[in-house]
């Protein structure tokens, strides 16, 4: 998971050091051994718990049981809220271990775990998806130099079928928006196709091409251009109704969906899942303050992150910002062009000017995109009888049930629990698309 950008660590990935590279280097420092250098990367809490001498003791105890470190066999990176979790499948002399290194948004290490190697958690189909009613085929979205592999999930039968393009959140997402065993976009694809709606999902450009960020990089390069190419591809596919193609955007994808639909007559309607309306810095500050409120006293690292986000807001809002300026984002360097472009974009106002039906969905336990954003959509679209809104009391940013106790916003722990997009969301989208077709 982890991605206006709302998974803070995913956004940082636009310009920060690769967490996997940092985790590999850290493990090599432990094996060297270079415990002082390794411990220097800890956040305040980890630094207090594992000073260099104690870190050395932990490593010595580990290698006494597992033998000497040999190599890294594989690496995966997932997002848990604002944290990047890198799992290194590591081969030791007597067996394999999973080394899990948790990075906070500033790149500091906030967690370290050594556990027996586990089989990778697998996605399993939700109860509402019937694989015998659909089939999938590989497709390519866009052209050189940004060709993106994707999957078209199609109901069995002759059609023509209504179709949906899925547009990712912030950060370098794969075609399923994978967070460990959680695959929200695959849930949506199979759930909707089971109900007679074709779905196109594809790798995000920054996932397929890590060096895609050019000096004049904007969200058009990151998201909008490829989403429009996906719409055009669907319109040319046999068995797809070219007059019933919808864009479903999640998080950043929801924020940008109105721009995607601007001047594109092939987009029949929009489905916005947790689309933010606030500016990126405003959302980041609110998210960081909420996370720091989850315990009695904010840590020094959390206070520093909030201050950095506030400084980011000043820098982004500055009238002197130029496209070729480098904006500091928790140590990452992002082109000023990215922020200047977003500064002039107002998603709710853009949506209100469109002449198409819009469905806005929101999880009440979402702490990344909140009721403040949902209410802005409602206010902007209040005069449009084609606009529909639905708030789900128990669902999170991923439109899955929260595992956190209580009824307020969830916590980052929600992202580590295997789950599926809630069936009510699938049902509501299916009903809305079919109703929109009947109203044409």
Phi, psi of 174 (to 5 degrees): -80, -175
Give start-end residues of each CATH 3.40.50.1820 domain in the chain: 131-277+346-438
Among 64-73, 232-241, 407-416, the range with the most confident prediction by mean pLDDT is 232-241
Residue 96 pLDDT class (50, 70, 90 cuts): confident
Strand order in the sheet with 387-392: 134-141, 148-155, 198-202, 161-167, 240-250, 269-273, 358-363, 387-392
pLDDT tens by residue, 164-189: 999 999 888 889 998 767 899 999 99
Asked if 366 is an active-site residue, the reply is yes
Confidence class of residue 118 from pLDDT cuts 50, 70 and 90?
low
**Domain covering 8-116 in this structure, CATH number:** 3.10.450.590
Question: What are residue 114's DSSP bridge partners?
Answer: 99
Terminal Cα distance for the chain, rounded: 37
Provide the β-strand partners of residue 200.
152, 165
User: Given a cut of 80, is residue 52 above it in pLDDT?
Assistant: yes
Collapse the DSSP code of 6 into the 3-class scheme (helix H, G, I; strand E, B; otherwise coil) and give the result: coil
Per-residue pLDDT, averaged over 5-25, amounts to 60
More confident residue, 95 or 237: 237
Q: Give me the pLDDT at residue 6, please.
A: 33
Structure tokens at 211: 């060096």
According to the model, what pLDDT value does residue 280 have?
87
Mean pLDDT of the chain: 88
**pLDDT value of position 12:** 42
Q: Say which range, 59-63, 182-186, 316-320, has the weakest mean pLDDT.
A: 59-63
pLDDT tens-place string over residues 79-90: 665 678 888 888
Range from 47-51, 120-124, 264-268 carrying the lowest mean pLDDT: 120-124
Tell me the mean pLDDT in the region 278-298.
87
Catalytic residue among 170, 251, 279, 419: 251
pLDDT at 1 over 50: no
Give pTM, 2 decimals: 0.78
66 pLDDT exceeds 60? yes
**Separation of alpha carbons 210 and 207, rounded Å:** 6
Looking at residue 170, its pLDDT comes to: 86
Confidence band for 8, pLDDT divided at 50, 70 and 90:
very low
Query: Which CATH number is associated with domain 131-277+346-438?
Result: 3.40.50.1820
| Burial of 433 per CB tally in 10 Å (0-12, 13-18, 19+) | buried
Out of 104, 174, 187, 366, the active site residue is 366
- Active-site annotation holder among 207, 250, 397, 420: 397
Considering just the CA atoms, what is the radius of gyration of the chain in Å? Answer: 22
| In the chain, % of residues over pLDDT 90 | 57
Question: In which band, very low, low, confident or very high, does the pLDDT at 5 lie, cut at 50, 70 and 90?
Answer: very low
168 is catalytic: no
pLDDT, residue 10, reads 42
Q: Nearest-CA neighbor of 134 among 91, 177, 195? A: 195
21 has a pLDDT exceeding 70: yes
3-state secondary structure 215-226: CCCCHHHHHHHH
pLDDT band at residue 436 under the 50/70/90 scheme = confident
Burial code (b: 16+ CB inside 10 Å, e: under 16) for 205-237 equals: bbbbeeebbeeebbbbbbbbbbbbbbbbbbeeb
Nearest to 405, CA basis, from 414, 416, 417, 397:
414
Residues of the chain with CATH 3.10.450.590: 8-116
Q: Which of 19-23, 149-153, 319-323 has the lowest mean pLDDT?
A: 19-23
Strand 148-155 versus strand 109-116 pairing type: unpaired
Q: Place 243 in a pLDDT band, splitting at 50, 70 and 90.
A: very high
pLDDT in tens, 357-408: 999 999 999 999 999 999 999 999 999 999 999 999 999 999 999 988 878 8
Q: Are 285 and 313 in contact (CB under 8 A)?
A: yes
The pLDDT, as a whole number, for residue 100 is 85
pLDDT at residue 14 greater than cutoff 50: no
Over 90: is that where the pLDDT of 416 sits?
no
Measured distance CA(247)–CA(390) in Å, rounded: 17
420 in catalytic set: no
Looking at beta carbons, which pairs linking 328-333 to residues 24 or more positions away fall under 8 Å? 329/11, 329/12, 329/14, 329/15, 329/16, 330/8, 330/12, 330/16, 330/105, 330/106, 330/107, 330/305, 331/12, 331/16, 331/17, 331/106, 331/107, 332/12, 332/13, 332/14, 332/15, 332/16, 333/15
Query: Which among 9-18, 39-48, 133-142, 328-337 has the top mean pLDDT?
Result: 133-142
């Amino acid at each position: 998971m982890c991605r206006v950008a709302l998974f803070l660590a995913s956004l940082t990935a636009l310009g920060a050091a690769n967490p996997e590279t940092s985790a590999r280097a850290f493990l090599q420092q432990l094996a060297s051994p270079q415990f002082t250098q390794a411990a220097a990367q800890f956040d305040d809490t980890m630094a207090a718990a594992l000073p260099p001498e104690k870190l050395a003791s932990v490593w010595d105890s580990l290698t006494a049981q597992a033998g000497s470190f040999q190599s890294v066999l594989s690496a995966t990176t997932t997002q848990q809220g604002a944290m990047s979790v890198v799992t290194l499948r590591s081969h030791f002399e007597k067996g394999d271990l999973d080394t899990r290194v948790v990075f906070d948004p500033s790149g500091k290490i906030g967690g370290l775990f050594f556990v027996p190697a586990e089989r990778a958690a697998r996605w399993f189909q939700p109860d509402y998806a019937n694989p015998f009613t659909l089939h999938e085929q590989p497709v390519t979205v866009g052209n050189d130099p940004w060709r993106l592999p994707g999957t078209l999930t199609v109901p069995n039968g002759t059609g023509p079928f209504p179709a949906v393009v899925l547009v990712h959140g912030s950060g370098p997402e794969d075609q399923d928006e994978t967070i460990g065993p959680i695959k929200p976009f695959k849930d949506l694809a199979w759930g909707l196709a089971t109900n007679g709606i074709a779905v196109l999902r594809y790798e995000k450009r920054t996932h397929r091409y890590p060096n895609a960020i050019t000096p004049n990089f904007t969200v058009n390069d990151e998201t909008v251009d490829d989403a429009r190419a996906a719409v055009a591809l669907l319109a040319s596919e046999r068995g797809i109704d070219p007059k019933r193609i919808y864009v479903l955007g999640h998080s950043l994808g929801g924020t940008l969906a109105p721009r995607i639909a601007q001047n594109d007559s092939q987009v029949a309607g929009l489905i916005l899942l947790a689309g933010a309306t606030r500016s990126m810095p405003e959302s980041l500050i609110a998210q960081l303050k909420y996370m720091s409120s989850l315990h009695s006293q904010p840590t020094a690292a959390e206070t520093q992150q909030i201050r950095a986000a506030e400084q980011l807001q000043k820098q982004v809002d500055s009238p002197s910002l130029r496209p070729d300026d480098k904006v500091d984002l928790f140590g990452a360097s992002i082109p000023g062009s990215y922020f200047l472009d977003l500064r002039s974009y107002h998603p709710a106002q853009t949506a209100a000017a469109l002449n198409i039906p819009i469905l806005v969905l929101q999880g009440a336990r979402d702490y990344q995109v909140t009721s403040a954003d949902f209410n802005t959509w409602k206010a902007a679209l209040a005069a449009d009888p084609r606009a529909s809104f639905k708030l789900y009391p128990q669902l999170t940013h991923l439109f899955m049930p929260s595992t956190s106790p209580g009824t307020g916003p969830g916590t980052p722990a929600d992202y580590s629990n295997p789950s599926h997009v809630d069936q009510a969301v699938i049902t509501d989208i299916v009903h809305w698309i079919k109703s929109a077709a009947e109203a044409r």
